Amino acid sequence: MKGLSIFAGNSNPVLSDMISGYLAKPLGRLKVDRFSDGETQVEIQENVRKQEIFVIQSTCNPVNDNLVELLLMIDAFKRSSASRITAVIPYFGYSRQDKKVSPRVPISAKLVADLLENTGVHRVITMDLHAGQIQGFFNCPVDNLYAAPVIIDDIKARYPENLVVVSPDAGGVERARAYAKRLNAGLAIVDKRRSAPNKAKAMAIIGDVQDKIAIVIDDMVDTAGTLTEAASVIVDNGANAVHAYCTHPVLSGPAIDRINKSSLSSLVATDTIPLSEEAKLCGKIETLSIAKLVGEAIVRSYRGDSVNSLFV
């Protein structure tokens, strides 16, 4: 893979190092700093002419800083005559505004897609997009990876039987059904009403969770309102225990406090987003690494092999 170079921004250095280790390819030399007024400064410190570049950057908190950092890195590679630039974005920020849900609001996911393409991206590799249609916002190829293989292996190892997979809302039913099928488990749905962004009230359970180990599956946990409300209702309906799995541990605002006080026994998340210090101290939160999955996707993308076969 002599024609391949891997670079990483500041958003998730631990994951970037693990991907680099899996590929046995050191990260490229890149300076990402700040001018005295807070503007981002980027400088590539090695020759990338005619190289195929993979730049790893999650657009997580601080979202705007990490997004601008990614855009500036892409522009620097383009102006340094890289042959192709692939943005590896384990967590794609601004993905929740993917349509107009009320008058006079932006479609933020489309705007970010346009920014990336206009800056010079040729391909995007991301994971568990909040809405699948975001792939259609790009004119370049998008590989939307799934954390399911990593999560399912962990669930099978911990809880071999007596499972029911629970979707925390109606929007996640397709995801939960796919997990339930592969785990040979039952399926239940939490009927939820959302009064405002980041505010939810769980109402009832559709399905049987009595005397079961409930596994709540979601793509992201932000303020944890939906998750903790769901856990409470599941326990009230007779479940023996409630364990949650998610791909993106956003965990903002009161999330950690809610998780600590909730009926949840555990929350297992992948490392698309680095945990805050507060989250690391929470005894209920654990992480799984998706470094091998992303690393293998990079290799297959570079060689022109199928990425889809990773999930068959």
Burial of 283 (0-12, 13-18, 19+ CB in 10 A): exposed
122 known member of a binding site: no
Q: Is 191 annotated as a binding residue?
A: no
93 is in an annotated binding site: no
Tokens at residue 207, please?
């399905």
What is the rounded CA–CA span in Å between residue 137 and residue 109? 8
Q: Residue 245's closest CA among 122, 141, 173, 155? A: 155
Asked if 291 and 18 touch (Cβ cutoff 8 Å), the reply is yes
39 is in an annotated binding site: yes
Is residue 37 marked as binding?
Answer: yes
Active site residue 156: no
User: Tokens 């039952």 sit at which residue?
Assistant: 186
Contacts of 84 (CB under 8 A, 6+ apart): 52, 53, 122, 123
- Dist CA 300 CA 296 (whole Å): 6
Is 158 a known ligand-binding residue? Answer: no
Does residue 45 have a known ligand-binding role? no
303 among annotated binding-site residues = no
* Annotated binding-site residue? 295: no
Q: Is 208 annotated as a binding residue?
A: no
Rounded CA-CA distance 48/44 in Å is: 8
- 69 with 30: CB under 8 angstroms? no
Q: How far is CA 234 from CA 51, 62, 101, 247, in A?
A: 52, 33, 29, 21
The answer on whether 130 is annotated among ligand-binding residues is yes
Q: Alpha carbon 283 to chain centroid distance?
A: 22
Q: Which of 192, 201, 261, 292 is catalytic?
A: 192
Q: Is 225 annotated as a binding residue?
A: yes
Tell me if 38 is assigned to a ligand binding site: yes
Annotated ligand binding at 271? The verdict is no
Positions at the binding site for Mg(2+):
130, 169
**Which residues line the annotated binding site for ATP?**
37-39, 96-97
- Catalytic positions are 192
Residues at the binding site for D-ribose 5-phosphate are 194, 218, 222-226
